């Protein structure tokens, strides 16, 4: 990486410089998944995989890998019964890893309904150990902990799980305990130097992996997961954008009936896809509302209105609620309280508009799966709440409007695929995510009109230089943060005491994890120079080099 970085330093990085740009930003290129014949169906939940969360940092990544294989899945807590998923036709279960040891008194266990289901099961790391422990095997602390790369050697190369793979392959380990004795009816399917039973299985499709196939450090991991889905569980891969659109259009149409729908339209890809999908389902029964909350970026209200008013078939209303939002945020410094206030204020605005428009029954909004997961509305006790999303935990307990959230179980990249399938323009589909609470969570401390103008000016510079360098589509997000710090500086031989702006740029696949982007130094230099020269209230610029975890993408 150092060699690649030095070769591109001191010059502009163009969008065509794929290798250099990717190296700078820490983007890992993955091989394409093998082609699989997938039938076209209208009910995508006719096959689903359940991911059971035991508190692993990789649980969400497992779900993404399953979705990438065009198989629908949902994550449930370890103590949830399968009966809670009656809306799904379950084809198999994947047990995640976790931080506990199965022989501890309060260790989380696999729900009996899963073990009694007769479904194929794939236990990963702790999931494998829980299978062994509960089915009569023995799990003990390992004589040698195994973290990082290892080489897996197959005992049964003809097993469906290893179809198309060589007898030995590199894998990624992260464990201190190991399966010392396999349960009755199980045999070792693979071993590493420190794990005699690195893979185990029986003749009923119950399998365990001591390594993590979901991480990129296991190069053949996606193939192993795909083999489990297709060759063990018998999935066909019906989770596609076209099938999703067909099913959800029908579901929205049936639910709304003769009712009317409001859609919270922000201009981002999530709300744009929701608006297009709901409009496809109910047509003129939909009215989109763009609320200017005063927390948007420079010229954003004008751009959003211009874009969506160009669509003559879309009913669009504009509400300027700047004073209401800023008034409700006055004196508030706590990030969680900011999010909740913004969520409640949005709902108040929408409910007033519903009254103005007449009888409106539903509110459509672009809630995504990461919003639900991080707000921990239905997650495992083993997982922690990260923050309240304004459109999930920030909503009031009692609402007059019924929510329609067709994207609630999609990751961002899946939303973009749906957007393209719906015919939305690429510049809209691939717009970087912008948080629902807007600039309020990029201002540390109280939000004021004066601070907003400072941040807008600095953020304008960041976006201008990122786009000029051809980096916009390479980054998940890039933006400025107005910190609550001030610093001493000197300009024109005079002492200054100004604001500190932090620059944040990250790469990610789904926002559940993210790495800080290795931006070229000349780009950072231009951003810093322009901000301190063009924004009078700022005299210092810093760059945030924190990944997620331990940090979050946004500062609040």
Angle at 56 between CA 51 and CA 58, to 5 degrees: 75
**Residues 460-487, buried b or exposed e (16+ Cβ, 10 A)?**
bbbbebbeebbbeebbbbbbbbbbeeee
CB 14 within 8 A of CB 473: no
Q: What is the 3-state secondary structure (H, E, C) of 299-344?
A: CHHHHHHHHHHCCCCCCEEEEECHHHHHHHHCCCCCHHHHHHHHHH
Closest among 26, 39, 95 to 70, alpha carbons compared: 39
Report the alpha-carbon distance of residue 153 to residue 195 in Å, rounded: 10
3-class DSSP assignment, residue 415? helix
Kindly state the tokens that stand for 408: 């609630």
- The strand pair at 538-543 and 494-507 is best described as parallel
Catalytic residue, candidates 78, 159, 178, 212: 212
Of 214, 353, 379, 554, catalytic: 214
* CB atoms inside a 10 Å sphere around CB 538: 26
* 87: Cβ contacts below 8 Å, ≥ 6 apart: 45
Closest CA to 440 of 429, 430, 449, 431: 449
Q: Of 465, 467, 474, 453, give the one whose Cα is nearest residue 543.
A: 465
Check if the beta carbon of residue 58 is closer than 8 Å to that of residue 85.
Answer: no
In the numeric block, the tokens 């989380």 are attached to 108
Mind spelling out the 3-state secondary structure of 229-290?
HHHHCCCCCCCCHHHHHHHHHHHHHHHHCCCCEEEECCCCHHHHHHHHHHHHHHHHHEEEEE
Verify whether residue 178 is a known catalytic residue.
Answer: no
Rounded CA-CA distance 444/433 in Å is 20
Is 509 an active-site residue?
no
Catalytic residue among 69, 73, 125, 288: 125
Q: Residues 238, 217: contact at Cβ < 8 Å?
A: no
CB of 304 closer than 8 Å to CB of 290:
yes
For residue 263, indicate whether it is catalytic: no
Inter-residue contact 378 to 372 (CB < 8 Å): yes
CB 25 within 8 A of CB 470: no
Angle of the 269-282 helix axis to the 412-421 helix axis, nearest 10: 50
Coil, strand or helix at 205: coil
**Active site (catalytic) residues:** 125, 212, 214
């Amino acid at each position: 990486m150092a060699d690649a970085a030095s070769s591109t330093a001191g010059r502009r990085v163009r969008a065509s410089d794929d290798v250099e740009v990717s190296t700078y930003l820490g983007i890992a290129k993955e091989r394409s998944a093998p082609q699989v014949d997938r039938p076209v169906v209208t009910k995508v939940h006719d096959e689903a995989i359940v991911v059971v969360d035991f508190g692993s940092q990789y649980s969400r990544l497992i779900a993404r890998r399953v979705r990438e294989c065009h198989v629908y899945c949902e994550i449930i807590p370890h103590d949830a019964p399968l009966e809670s998923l009656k809306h799904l036709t379950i084809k198999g279960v994947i047990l995640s890893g976790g931080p506990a040891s199965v022989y501890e008194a309060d260790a989380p266990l696999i729900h009996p309904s899963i073990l009694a289901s007769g479904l194929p099961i794939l236990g990963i790391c702790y999931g494998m150990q829980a299978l062994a422990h509960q089915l009569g095997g023995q799990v003990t602390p390992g004589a040698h902990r195994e973290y990082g790369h290892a080489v897996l050697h197959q005992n049964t190369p003809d097993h469906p799980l290893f179809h198309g793979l060589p007898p030995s392959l590199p894998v990624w380990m992260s464990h201190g305990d190991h399966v010392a004795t396999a349960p009755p009816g199980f045999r070792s399917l693979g071993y590493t130097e420190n794990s005699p039973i690195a893979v185990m299985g029986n003749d009923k499709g119950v399998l365990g992996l001591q390594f993590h196939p979901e991480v990129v450090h296991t190069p053949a991991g996606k193939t192993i997961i795909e083999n489990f889905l297709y060759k063990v569980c018998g999935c066909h891969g019906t989770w596609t954008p076209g099938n999703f659109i067909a099913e959800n259009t029908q579901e929205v149409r049936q639910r709304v009936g003769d009712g009317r729908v409001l859609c919270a339209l922000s201009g981002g890809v999530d709300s744009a896809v929701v608006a297009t999908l709901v409009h496809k389902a109910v047509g003129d029964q939909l009215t989109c509302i763009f609320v200017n909350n005063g927390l948007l970026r420079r010229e954003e209200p004008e751009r959003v209105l211009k874009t969506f008013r160009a669509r003559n078939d879309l009913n669009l209303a504009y509400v300027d609620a700047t004073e209401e939002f800023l008034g409700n945020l006055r004196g508030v410094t706590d990030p969680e309280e900011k999010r909740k206030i913004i969520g409640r204020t949005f709902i108040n605005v929408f409910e007033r508009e519903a009254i103005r428009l007449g009888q409106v029954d539903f509110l459509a909004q672009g809630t995504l799966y990461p919003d639900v997961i991080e707000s921990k509305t239905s997650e495992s006790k083993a997982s922690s709440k990260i923050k309240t999303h304004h459109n999930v935990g920030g909503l009031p307990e009692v609402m007059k409007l019924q929510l329609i959230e067709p994207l609630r179980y999609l990751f961002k990249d899946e939303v973009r695929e749906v957007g393209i399938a719906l015919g939305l323009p690429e510049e809209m589909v691939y717009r970087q995510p912008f948080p629902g609470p807007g600039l309020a969570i990029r201002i540390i401390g109280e939000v004021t009109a004066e601070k907003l103008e400072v941040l807008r000016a600095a953020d304008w510079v960041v976006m201008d230089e990122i786009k000029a360098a051809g980096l916009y589509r390479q980054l998940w997000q890039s933006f400025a943060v107005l910190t609550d710090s001030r610093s001493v500086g000197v300009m024109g031989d005079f002492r200054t005491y100004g604001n500190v702006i932090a620059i944040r740029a990250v790469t990610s696949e789904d926002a559940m994890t993210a790495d800080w982007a290795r931006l070229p130094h000349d780009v950072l230099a231009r951003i810093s120079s322009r901000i301190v020269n063009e924004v009078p209230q700022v005299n210092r610029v810093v760059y945030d080099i924190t990944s997620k975890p331990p940090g979050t993408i946004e500062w609040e």
